[in-house]
Amino acid sequence: MNAIIEFLIGFFILVGALLSLVAAFGVIRLPDVYTRNHAASKSATLGVMCILLGAFLYFYHLEGHFNSRLILGFVFLFMTSPVAGHLISRAAYHSGVPLWNKSVRDDLKRDMKKASAGNKDDLKKNNKKKALVSK
């Protein structure tokens, strides 16, 4: 039982470190902001969560200390990090950072065009209604 838990502690911490390293390589090697953000927000989150889990197991197993702050940090990181990634990507898109030159689809651009066209149609309709009412 001891050996299994000690193996798990080492496994979680090493896997977490490896995932963080993969995230760093992704940030260096990927071509544009969106793909880099994809690497950083997913892989680094899982990496840090694995390290926290390893640290929690270490203190629980070897010192009998149930550290609820590590669990809280675990949950907190799981909830905040994707939201942060989403906001960075969104801010980048809306401030006009270009996509990688080999990317082929941009659904958000199409949808935004559609939405703004829809707004214009609504405005026209409202203006017509107002004109009718004023007549």
Partner 1 sequence: MRTTNNVILQTSIKILLFFIVLYSVYIFTAGHYYPGGGFIGGLMTAGAIVLLLIAYDIKTVAKILPVNYRILTAVGLIFAIGTSAGALLFNVPFLTHAFGHVVIPVLGDISLHTATLFDLGVYFVVVGVTMTIIQTIGEDE
- The residue within the footprint of partner 1, chosen from 18, 66, 80, 120 (CB under 8 A), is 80
| Minimum distance of partner 1 from residue 24's CB (angstroms) | 26
- The residue within the footprint of partner 1, chosen from 1, 79, 104, 132 (CB under 8 A), is 79
Residue 96 φ/ψ, nearest 5 degrees? 85, 25
Q: How far apart are CA 135 and CA 116, in angstroms?
A: 29
User: What's the start-to-end Cα distance of the chain, in Å?
Assistant: 86
Work out whether 66 is an interface residue with partner 1 (CB under 8 A). Answer: no
Q: Which is nearer to partner 1, 80 or 127 (CB)?
A: 80
Work out whether 113 is an interface residue with partner 1 (CB under 8 A). Answer: no
3-state secondary structure of 15: helix
Work out whether 124 is an interface residue with partner 1 (CB under 8 A). Answer: no
Torsion of CA 104, 110, 96, 92, to 10 degrees: -80
Residues that bind partner 1 (CB under 8 A): 69, 72, 75-76, 79-80, 83, 86-87
